[in-house]
A and B are shown apart, each in its own frame.
Chain A
Amino acid sequence: MTPLLAACGGGGSKHKTGANSAEGVKSALPAFAASTSVAADIPSVPGPDGAMTDPAFLTYPANPVATVTGVPGKGGSYTAVTPLWGTVPPADNSFYAAMNKALGITMEMKPADGNNYNTIIPTMTAAKKLPDWIQLPTWWNSNFNVGELAASQFADLTPHLAGDNIKKYPNLAAIPTGAWQAGIWGDKLYGIPSFSTGFSIAGTTFYRRDLLEARGITADQVKTLDDLMNLGKELTDEKSGTWAFDDVWTYLFPFFGLPNKWKLADGKLVHKYEMPEFLEALDWHYKLATAGYLHPDAIAGNNADANTRFYAGKTLIQGGGPGVWNLADHLSGTAATPGFRRGSFDFLTAKAGATPSLFMGSSTNMMSYLNAKLKPEQIEELLAVANYLAAPYGSAEYTMVNFGVEGTHYTRVNGVPTANDEGKKDVQAQTYPFLATASSVISNPGADQVTKDIAAFQAANVKYLYKPLFWNMNISMPQNIATVDTAQAVEDTVKDCYHGKKKVSDVQAAISTWKSNGGDRLKQWMTDNVLSKYGTGQ
């Protein structure tokens, strides 16, 4: 079989694969021009390797200042697809209508289920039925094969944005350079970043701070993975329908000393599947599930209701992306249980007394792309729209995008924009902001505790972040290599293992099949085409 697979070598693609070259990146990157935004109430804290926490705001400007003059659009009609983890707002709602008016275009928003987004998008790209504007979360870059997609189906933004060209769009120019770098494929700029951050983590392990503290459990008592496991026994009470844990694997496995995918040992690439720590991590999670600490609905794969379980106190500890922790979450949580407070455990270690560490994610997790079929003037129109969407915290545009129209979607309560019923239904933080935003800030008007909690969590952990191998290098693979990189069969078995259905040895078997069916070839490809040509990116 190996010669057969080798025969397909470069796959069917004709585009350049590999990573970006240093000169290419340099000439494609836009210039940076900081915006004069409001001063943060809790300024950002720097960490190692350029990491820094997001600035936090506790007050909202009474008179938001406009950063864009006039209406950015010229009346064009477009469609946009974005992922949404939550309830999809009604299609023709008053917020969309108000946004269309403010943007001067007709934008048909089509939010799609975030939980299945990675399987929805490939069917669209295969049919070449991409919308005009699409959001592709960066953690799925290899699932979507964004490198190849960019070359064939996305608009090249380099001529519009590279260097000083971006100055036409001052809000976009204020997005940090690292985030733009994550949008470069094959030395050309394609992506528009949202929520770029210096504190980029895939996610964290959350807990019900209100309920745990009521039992005398605080986050600083939980330092190691053993401590966490012990909570399972203490908190699970099946009789009352309470389980300590929902799914935690995705954001917990790195604390066993694992990289996201690759690490370098003696100048050679090692995949996390080959590391003994990977088996330790699996073993821990297998025990968690088989000990009965994991909610049965989580085992049944019902992820869509994970937050409902958390809000209702049916689960007390859950993994989640950083985007979960916000005002909307606070509102939903307190609606279910008054006094609801989400907290995050600090970075954990496998051994007591060790220093925790976690790899930084790319400077942004959210990247949007424009369709290659758009005409240059349409691209300019949408970039002007992106410039509007990327207005800084507290500006008039930011207020519109995040809260809607005063009176219709929100009212000022003690000076703080507060969503009314229509606003709660229609104004979703996961629609327009997934097309473009200014760099991340922590702000939850009306829920200062949330803002303080997040800022404190980031400040306590930023010092443990490190720059991993191939950081911010957009690696573009031929399709057959990308398929191996996705490792669907292994990931499926891993999921079965942390749900207690497959033993660690079954995962080992799946890994060895994967290695012989392409995993070794993937490593060779990465060594030849990325490591030896472009270096480590560190």
Chain B
Amino acid sequence: MSTARSERGKSTTGEDAAGRRTTGRNGTVRLNWRTRLRRDRTLLLMTVPAVVLLLVFNYAPLFGLVTAFQYYDPLVGVRDSEWAGLAQFQQLFHDPLFWGALKNTLWLSLVQLVLFFPVPIALALLLNTVLSERLRNFIQSVVYLPHFFSWVLAITIFQQMLGGAGILNHFLRQNDMAPWDITTNPHTFALLVTSQAIWKEAGWGIIVFLAALAAISTELYEAAAADGAGRWRRMWHITLPGLRGVIVLMLVLRLGNALTVGFEQFLIQREAVGHESADVLDTFSFYYGIATGNYSFGAAAGLFKSVISLLLIWGANKLAHAFGEDGLYRR
């Protein structure tokens, strides 16, 4: 859910960036900051709540990172906890379960990138071709809806349908066929969670792409149609290039979040497939850090994850710039 929220947040900045780009090309004169401040004060004022939220919930907790270098004992507090140096990290890097969780995280991220990422784009393109507005709104509502379900509910539905005692397997057994182990098979777990993610989040993910599609001028299509371009040519030469900026932005964000593949989804299904298959970095921190009172160890795992994520997002952004795209911000 957090990814969806951040995607939505970034989509507006994306549009802003795209919007400003056109004015930028007309050539703006650099104004001094005081003038700009006066000019943009309403906009700045509007961002204040977001900045405050960010400071309180994202920056202030950064101080807690110090516990990763301690034998933190919550009962005596940060100040009085014993200093550990890098001992927690050494223990972390010697823990096979940690490397297992990292491997799972990267693998799930890759699978989701290949199988999940294109789905909202394809859905958005399909929806865009539906002419009847009523039908379009209807389809949109239907595919949005699962986003508002909790993971508990989504997974319960999957288990009721596909689980060992679910509708499908009950039907198979009654007809003397072998049951199909879908929900408790560790080997196909990545496919299971990706299909759950598609079912739940793909509809929500199309919002940003639909917005980008709406921003493409209809005059372009009309002109192309007048020149005799067919449906596919228009998609190839107008629609996709129009979406490219947003797609690259979403890709950069996705890469930056490569180590964040979800939490509840794995927490709930951990027992179903076993901890070695289901533990991702976030659940690892939870079970082997927080739940067993080993907070510093969990904090070390979390810090490691953050550093790698930062490197990933930095690298992806560089790559976007290298391809002449805006990425997270314009150079």
Contact = CB atoms under 8 A, between A and B. Distances in A.
A12 B91 contact: no
A241 B290 contact: no
Contacts of B96: 513
B3 interface: no
A310 to B, nearest CB: 14
A149 B184 contact: no
A5 interface: yes
Contacts of A414: none
Residue with the highest number of chain B CB atoms closer than 10 Å, among A153, A482, A489: A489
A8 B76 contact: no
Residue with the highest number of chain A CB atoms closer than 10 Å, among B74, B80, B268: B74
Contact of A13 (B76, B268, B270): B76
Contacts of B97: 489
Interface residues of B, number: 48
Contacts of B186: 501
A7 B268 CA distance: 36
Interface in B80-137: 80-82, 84, 87, 90-91, 94-97
Contact of A479 (B91, B174, B293): B293
A488 interface: yes
Contact of B295 (A4, A126, A238, A295): A126
Interface string A495-538: 11001011000000000010001000000000000000000000
Residue with the highest number of chain A CB atoms closer than 10 Å, among B94, B164, B295: B164
A495 B279 CA distance: 14
A215 interface: no
7 contacts: A5-B91, A119-B286, A125-B74, A300-B269, A488-B288, A488-B291, A499-B271
Given A4-B90, A13-B76, A301 B270 contact: yes
Residue with the highest number of chain B CB atoms closer than 10 Å, among A151, A152, A479, A493: A479
Interface of B: 70-76, 80-82, 84, 87, 90-91, 94-97, 159, 163-165, 169-170, 173-174, 179, 183-184, 186, 268-276, 286-288, 290-295
Interface residues of A, number: 53
A433 to B, nearest CB: 27
Contacts of A489: 97, 288
Contacts of A119: 286, 290-291
A123 B292 CA distance: 10
A94 B275 CA distance: 43
Given A119-B290, A295-B165, A299-B164, A501 B74 contact: no
Contacts of A153: 75
B276 A125 contact: no
A496 B276 contact: yes
A300 B76 contact: no
Contacts of A5: 87, 91
Interface string A83-115: 000000000000000000000000000000000
Nearest to A487: B292
B290 A1 contact: no
Given A145-B293, A152-B76, A495-B271, A12 B82 contact: yes
A126 B97 CA distance: 24
A512 B305 CA distance: 28
Interface in A37-92: none
A143 interface: yes
B70 A296 contact: no
B73 A11 contact: yes
B316 to A, nearest CB: 33
Interface in A1-45: 1, 4-5, 7-8, 11-14
A14 B269 CA distance: 39
Nearest to A478: B73
Interface string A267-284: 000000000000000000
A8 B84 contact: yes
A224 B218 CA distance: 79
A296 B165 contact: yes
